[in-house]
Amino acid sequence: MITAKHLLLIASLLPLTACTGKGEDSGLPPAKGDGGPQITVRDEVEAERAAVAKVLDSERYVGQVKAIREAEIGPKASGTIARIYVEEGEHVKKGEVLFSLDARSQRLGVEQARTALQSAILARDEAKRNLDRQAQLKDRGSISDAVFERAENGFKSAENAVEQAKVSVSLARRQTGDSAAVAPFDGLVVKLAKTIGETVTMMPPTTVILLQDQTKLELRVGVPERALRSLERGQAITAEFPAIGVTRSAVIDRIQPLVDPATRTVEVVAHIDNADGRLFPGMYVEVSAEALTDARIDEVAKDPELEAAAPAEPNEEPKP
């Protein structure tokens, strides 16, 4: 607790502190020359610009890259894997066969459908001959119209049976073709999830091969919403891959029309050329804020108070 004695002691010390340094020799030589350079308001503006650029250059946003196209290849029918024609890390062309199932039962189905088609054709030909005979008898008046109509309907039914048998053959061939899986696009075999002899199913789908097109990668990065003022589709941004010391230019493909309310960031999607194959999906990537620098520096330079206070350069006409 502060008492009256404490207050008197403080009051007695104040004159001593007020008198220090006045009239005393500091021991330093007197100042000479014109003195140091004066700092103008314009210098402050330039310093502020440099400070903003330095801060922005230090900003890094962590993004993620993935293949521009990816497909989990599975069978179109349930069965047992008979052959796998590719290996991990192998490049394949569109339409190339990747693996095939044991199709012995499907091939037997094709033969069965062909046999049924031949039988249907024979039945149709017999029905056609019978119809021709009935037509001759009808012309001579030997049979009634009802008998002729039955022969005519029998021929039409035989024709329909032939068409149905043709469809069965096509379906059996399709099932045989479904035993082989082909590449839907040019790409790289990233992973073999199954091996020969394993049973796979169409439903639920079983992934046998993971195929990716890595010639171009998709970069996704969240940037502060203030960046929207200076980012647009088609603009180039810089992506750095510290693990391998590679810097690539990425072209903005789209800006997602949604701001994360928790982080106040918006997702930017850009494409990176990877024709040399040095970049891999899933690599750690940093995106600099270089695209924001110009807009932020201009904002500082156009501060109304600084503009009004800054003196004109010697070669410039003063603003009215």
pLDDT tens, position by position, 287-306: 876 544 443 444 445 555 54
So what's the pLDDT on residue 290?
A: 58
Distance between CA atoms of residues 221 and 237, nearest Å: 11
So what's the pLDDT on residue 142?
A: 86
Distance between CA atoms of residues 310 and 47, nearest Å: 13
**Minimal CA–CA distance to 235: which of 312, 145, 295?**
295
So what's the pLDDT on residue 60?
A: 78
Which regions in the chain score pLDDT beneath 70? 1-59, 289-320
Q: How far apart are the first and last CA of the chain?
A: 63
Phi, psi of 176 (to 5 degrees): -65, -40
Question: Taking each helix axis from N to C terminus, what angle separates 104-140 and 145-177, rounded to the nearest 10 degrees?
Answer: 160
In this prediction the pTM is 0.62
Sign of the torsion angle spanned by Cα atoms 286, 292, 294, 296? negative
Distance between CA atoms of residues 180 and 99, nearest Å: 6
Domains identified in the chain and CATH numbers: 59-68+213-308 (2.40.30.170), 103-178 (1.10.287.470)
So what's the pLDDT on residue 260?
A: 93
Distance between CA atoms of residues 197 and 111, nearest Å: 25
